[in-house]
Structure 1
Amino acid sequence: MEFGVKSGSPEKQRSACIVVGVFEPRRLSTVAEQLDTISEGYISNLLRRGDLEGKAGQMLLLHHVPNVLSERVLLVGCGKERELNERQYKQIVAKTIQTLNETGSMEAVSFLTELHVKGRDSYWKVRQAVEAASESVYSFLQLKTKKGEPRRPLRKMVFNLPTRKDLPLGERAIVHAQAISKGVTVAKDVSNMPPNICNPLYLNQQAAELVESYPSLSLDTVGEAQMEELGMHTYLAVGRGSENESIMSVIHHKGGNADDAPVVLVGKGLTFDSGGISIKPGEAMDEMKYDMCGAASVLGVMHTVAELNLPLNIIGIIAGCENMPDANAYRPGDILTTMSGQTVEVLNTDAEGRLVLCDALTYVERFDPDCVIDIATLTGACVIALGKHATAVLSQHNPLAHEIINASEQSADKAWRLPLWDEYQDQIESPFADMSNLGGRPAGTITAACFLSRFTRKYNWAHLDIAGTAWVSGANKGATGRPVPMLTQFLMNKANVSIDE
């Protein structure tokens, strides 16, 4: 979809559709009032008849409104004006796009960006509108024989801004939002791909295709033979039961000076997690193809940073692996030696993500990083703690944690910090090895992070548990592409990207 910004009065807009807001109870927004005036009360008369109350998400499409140049006017219910918040604003935009797709309007001019959202400027409103629009039209149709696309889908959306001085902000917002949306789409597409197609080799191939598209990117591939030489025995153990080779893809974005320390993102890439010998219950096991959403988000972020050509050195690690049971699979009771030399007693082969990540986190020491963030669908306990709304953030480095939380608030990609106190470390002690790979049911998200923290002492590190936010279940199940927006905002902040450029 094409996006643009302009500044003009509603009565002068000549478009397939013009979009304006109506508040509860049947109160016209400023722009809607202007249209009502030139239409000689046509809109207010409809509201008095009860055609639209103004509740959030209500839609009323009008054709050939008197004296209005646009063919259609879409009245959008925005709820109570004083209660309009960020979440409601995004929902309204998404519902508007869906409605426009059904009306046959191939282009539209939206005045919803003139609504007042507390504490948010034109840049934020345009960027969120573009991201919400891209989200609302996303579909995964690659493997359907009948695509079922709209007959006349919306092709162009123009956002009207109050003054001409807001236009550079709006244009910058579109550039950023389209790059982020592209990254989100990449992450979704890879995550939604079935595990018989999306295996570690497929992830590596996707990384290779990305690198070919952008001159700032390069790729290193670490296969099982090299992992063996490096001593990545826990990573290798997890993949031993699978016929698919474990592959770690290392994507370099060189946007900074040669001697600038890189920001490293490490994504858990379990392309299917059966649980191994500690096999999972059958119900919803198909969703374990989403156990590589951390890796998918890294791939998406690398798309976005290359598209924006951020002036940073960034390394994206895709830790591809598959956890399957067979005669060669690792077992509960095994003791494994990590790349760091520390030993791990395996209590449960379904706590495998941390075994892959711990070796990947040791591997990245060679880059002398500015900071390292790992992203993983690591624990079901995270869903119990935070539900499906917030990504868990755990770190022993307060400044890094604060930067991530700040980025989550800016991007409206919600996150919440959990504690990582030393008291929790006792839960992963083992009588036979340096640690176990399971800390029991209490504080499962925290003890998993405690395990990872033992491999990150040489740099500043944060862990993002996206088990609750990476995908949705049910009839409309699918990947969300999170936390691509948050991580991109974090990197934009690191790069001091100005919205006024």
Structure 2
Amino acid sequence: MAVKVEATAPQSAKADVIVVLLPKQKKGARVPFGKLDQKTGGLLGSALAAGAFSGKAGEVRSLLPADGKPAKRVVLAGLGNPDDVNEEAIRRAAAIASRASGPPSRVAIAMQSVPGHAKRAAEAAVVGFRLGTYRWNRFKSDAKKAKPWRLSLLTDARKAAAARAGAKSGEAAAAGAMLARDLGNAPGNYLTPTAFAKEARQMCRASGLTCRVLSEKQMGDLGMGSLLSVSRGSAEPAKLIIMEHGKKAKRPTVCLVGKGLTFDTGGISLKPPTEMDKMRYDMCGSAAVVGAMQAVAALNLPLHVVGIVASAENMPGSKATKPGDIVTAMNGKTIEVLNTDAEGRLVLADALCYAQRYKPSLVIDLATLTGAVVVALGKHMAGMLGTDQKAMDALSSAGVATHERVWQLPLDDDYDKAMRGRSADLQNIGGRNAGTITAAQFLKHFTDDLAWVHLDIAGVAYDDPSRPYAKGAGASGFGVRLLVRFLQERAAR
């Protein structure tokens, strides 16, 4: 959905719905948007005077002008105290407004009273509104094909150029996040590794990215015994998906690596049946990589970015890897598989080894890797560990800006002892203590001397009840907007 930016007052907008984002109003203050208020017959002023709307955060009010002018509906959405308005406040207000805007139609968001930088404000408004309209109903038999939303931002002429840049960025990030949500929400019988590779190819073709998909034979020839050990019990073959942007860019390479378990039963170390259906979300790390790559292409960032997805299905078949089996990764390290349900680190091990072929300046991996990170951080932040402190600081800042927040945990050789194998170089579990850290210590063995950051998104990848633009079925799309903001800042250096 292309977003228009118009230097137009809201009362002159050609729209079915006019959304007005307003900071909290002081009692007795002059009614904002006086001409709009006049055109609605004083509805805005009446709502403020009666206390039906004050502009506090989370507040929304729909006004229905009697003659349908200047629009059929005017939606007031509160930003909160003016001094506290940030990108997240704008995203939340725009998302709440989207849900009060009725069916898909022409919507104009008045940005004139939104404080802060015009570019970031516009970006936040587009992201919030777009993600707020997201619905997952692909398999609903009575679902009708929805009409597209047509969105425009109304601003002052002097802010229009900055707002257009922000709207473009916001649309790319939102579209990438929505793609990640679609992929994450797809059930395992539809989104197999083969189907995932097809979806990635289609995205790359539409976005101008190059894409290669390695078969199990090709992975076997490369020595990827760790990744292939996970798919052995499944009738569905594993795939390694490689997407590439800006190969000719004379900039250092950044590799994004995603865990892509399209369904995870735990293998022979079978998971309990309660909520096993949610293991469709075990590929949300890779979904974020695909969504981020789409956004990178849409924004044509002047970077060389490679996205690598290690996709497999973990099933307890007759050929499945058994607890105690020893496998060999691409770099020659041997791994004793003590628990087949700690499979994410096994697919990531070979994907991280493969990333080294590009001699990247930085590797970032995303994975729904450990339950321990949910215990530590709940459903509000992802765990972050790595070897590049500058990159982690930048990711932390990007996380605050996008509200896809990360929290750094220690990576230290003292934790490495837990991952040393009895019969092999390594073992794939390290006991109950510090599970998120020991999992990262395991992965570090496959990064060589690369600058590397690991994001454990197990707690934030799905079922996010706290943000109005992430509510809805299942997958949250976490990581797409974080990566896009991080890469934008990196490209601007």
TM-score by length of 2: 0.91
CA distance in structure 2 between the aligned counterparts of 1:348 and 1:261, rounded to whole angstroms: 37
Q: 1:446 aligns with which of 403, 413, 437?
A: 437
CA distance in structure 1 between the aligned counterparts of 2:10 and 2:318, rounded to whole angstroms: 70
Q: Following TM superposition, by how much is the alpha carbon of 1:423 offset from its aligned partner in structure 2, in angstroms?
A: 1.6
Moved more, 92-101 or 206-215: 206-215
Aligned residue type for 2:114: L
CA distance in structure 1 between the aligned counterparts of 2:28 and 2:379, rounded to whole angstroms: 34
Aligned residue type for 1:100: S
* Distance change (3 Å), C-alpha of 1:491 and 1:82: closer
CA distance in structure 1 between the aligned counterparts of 2:17 and 2:251, rounded to whole angstroms: 49
Q: Deviation digits for residues 232-289 of structure 1, max 9, x if unmatched?
A: 11111111111111111111223533x6542111111111110011111111100101
> What residue in structure 1 maps to residue 74 of structure 2?
73
> What residue in structure 2 maps to residue 349 of structure 1?
340
> What residue in structure 1 maps to residue 193 of structure 2?
200
Q: Is the 8 A contact 2:384 2:408 kept in 1?
A: yes
Is 1:218 aligned with 2:219?
no
* Distance change (3 Å), C-alpha of 1:66 and 1:206: closer
CA distance in structure 1 between the aligned counterparts of 2:204 and 2:436, rounded to whole angstroms: 34
Is 1:423 aligned with 2:414?
yes
* Distance change (3 Å), C-alpha of 1:350 and 1:40: closer
CA distance in structure 1 between the aligned counterparts of 2:61 and 2:481, rounded to whole angstroms: 32
CA distance in structure 2 between the aligned counterparts of 1:47 and 1:154, rounded to whole angstroms: 32
Is 1:408 aligned with 2:408?
no
Q: 2:149 aligns with which of 129, 151, 155?
A: 155
> What residue in structure 2 maps to residue 3 of structure 1?
3
Q: Following TM superposition, by how much is the alpha carbon of 1:87 offset from its aligned partner in structure 2, in angstroms?
A: 3.3
CA distance in structure 2 between the aligned counterparts of 1:224 and 1:385, rounded to whole angstroms: 36
Q: Following TM superposition, by how much is the alpha carbon of 1:363 offset from its aligned partner in structure 2, in angstroms?
A: 1.7
* Distance change (3 Å), C-alpha of 1:148 and 1:113: farther
Q: Following TM superposition, by how much is the alpha carbon of 1:15 offset from its aligned partner in structure 2, in angstroms?
A: 4.0
Q: Following TM superposition, by how much is the alpha carbon of 1:80 offset from its aligned partner in structure 2, in angstroms?
A: 4.0
**Percent of aligned pairs with the same residue?**
36
Q: Following TM superposition, by how much is the alpha carbon of 1:67 offset from its aligned partner in structure 2, in angstroms?
A: 12
Moved more, 75-84 or 365-374: 75-84
Q: Is the 8 A contact 1:218 1:252 kept in 2?
A: yes
DSSP 3-state at the match of 1:297: helix
Q: Is the 8 A contact 2:289 2:480 kept in 1?
A: yes
Q: Following TM superposition, by how much is the alpha carbon of 1:411 offset from its aligned partner in structure 2, in angstroms?
A: 2.9
Q: Deviation digits for residues 397-421 of structure 1, max 9, x if unmatched?
A: 2122122223223333222211112
CA distance in structure 2 between the aligned counterparts of 1:39 and 1:302, rounded to whole angstroms: 44
Q: 2:424 aligns with which of 430, 433, 441?
A: 433
CA distance in structure 2 between the aligned counterparts of 1:493 and 1:473, rounded to whole angstroms: 27
DSSP 3-state at the match of 2:32: helix
Is 1:130 aligned with 2:106?
no
Aligned residue type for 1:290: Y
> What residue in structure 2 maps to residue 248 of structure 1?
240
Q: In the TM superposition, what are the counterparts of 1:12-161 in structure 2 within 5 Å? A: 12-13=12-13, 15-20=15-20, 21=22, 23=24, 31-32=32-33, 35-36=36-37, 43-64=44-65, 69-101=70-102, 106-112=105-111, 114-116=113-115, 120-147=116-143, 155-161=149-155
CA distance in structure 2 between the aligned counterparts of 1:14 and 1:33, rounded to whole angstroms: 18
Q: 1:325 aligns with which of 316, 324, 344?
A: 316
CA distance in structure 2 between the aligned counterparts of 1:239 and 1:319, rounded to whole angstroms: 11
Is 1:227 aligned with 2:219?
yes
CA distance in structure 1 between the aligned counterparts of 2:210 and 2:69, rounded to whole angstroms: 53
Q: Is the 8 A contact 1:22 1:28 kept in 2?
A: no
Q: 1:337 aligns with which of 328, 340, 343?
A: 328
Aligned residue type for 2:492: N
Q: Following TM superposition, by how much is the alpha carbon of 1:25 offset from its aligned partner in structure 2, in angstroms?
A: 6.6
DSSP 3-state at the match of 1:479: coil
CA distance in structure 1 between the aligned counterparts of 2:316 and 2:185, rounded to whole angstroms: 23
Q: Is the 8 A contact 2:464 2:476 kept in 1?
A: no
Q: Is the 8 A contact 1:268 1:353 kept in 2?
A: yes
CA distance in structure 1 between the aligned counterparts of 2:148 and 2:77, rounded to whole angstroms: 17
Q: Is the 8 A contact 1:218 1:251 kept in 2?
A: yes
CA distance in structure 2 between the aligned counterparts of 1:39 and 1:28, rounded to whole angstroms: 19
Q: Is the 8 A contact 1:114 1:160 kept in 2?
A: no
Q: Is the 8 A contact 1:65 1:72 kept in 2?
A: no
Q: Following TM superposition, by how much is the alpha carbon of 1:194 offset from its aligned partner in structure 2, in angstroms?
A: 0.8
Moved more, 471-480 or 482-491: 471-480
* Distance change (3 Å), C-alpha of 1:176 and 1:209: same
Aligned residue type for 2:160: L
> What residue in structure 2 maps to residue 170 of structure 1?
163
CA distance in structure 1 between the aligned counterparts of 2:30 and 2:399, rounded to whole angstroms: 30
Aligned residue type for 2:60: M
Q: Deviation digits for residues 49-77 of structure 1, max 9, x if unmatched?
A: 44335443333333337997445433334
Q: Is the 8 A contact 1:113 1:125 kept in 2?
A: no
> What residue in structure 1 maps to residue 468 of structure 2?
none
Q: In the TM superposition, what are the counterparts of 1:372-391 in structure 2 within 5 Å? A: 372-391=363-382
DSSP 3-state at the match of 1:276: coil
> What residue in structure 1 maps to residue 485 of structure 2?
489
Q: Is the 8 A contact 2:244 2:304 kept in 1?
A: yes
> What residue in structure 1 maps to residue 288 of structure 2?
297
Which ranges of structure 1 fall in alignment gaps of 5 or more residues? none
DSSP 3-state at the match of 2:433: coil
Q: CA RMSD in A?
A: 2.7
Moved more, 404-413 or 272-281: 404-413
TM-score by length of 1: 0.89
CA distance in structure 2 between the aligned counterparts of 1:462 and 1:61, rounded to whole angstroms: 45
* Distance change (3 Å), C-alpha of 1:137 and 1:149: farther
Q: Is the 8 A contact 1:22 1:29 kept in 2?
A: no
Moved more, 247-256 or 25-34: 25-34
Q: Deviation digits for residues 337-359 of structure 1, max 9, x if unmatched?
A: 22111111222111011011111
> What residue in structure 2 maps to residue 399 of structure 1?
390
Q: Is the 8 A contact 1:35 1:68 kept in 2?
A: no
> What residue in structure 1 maps to residue 476 of structure 2?
480
Aligned residue type for 1:23: K
Q: Following TM superposition, by how much is the alpha carbon of 1:224 offset from its aligned partner in structure 2, in angstroms?
A: 1.3
Q: Deviation digits for residues 185-242 of structure 1, max 9, x if unmatched?
A: 2111111111011111111111221232244x22222111122222111111111111
Aligned residue type for 1:225: K
CA distance in structure 1 between the aligned counterparts of 2:77 and 2:7, rounded to whole angstroms: 20
Q: Is the 8 A contact 2:260 2:309 kept in 1?
A: yes
CA distance in structure 2 between the aligned counterparts of 1:45 and 1:289, rounded to whole angstroms: 49
Moved more, 391-400 or 405-414: 405-414
Q: Following TM superposition, by how much is the alpha carbon of 1:6 offset from its aligned partner in structure 2, in angstroms?
A: 2.5
Aligned residue type for 1:147: A
DSSP 3-state at the match of 1:100: coil
Q: Following TM superposition, by how much is the alpha carbon of 1:108 offset from its aligned partner in structure 2, in angstroms?
A: 3.3
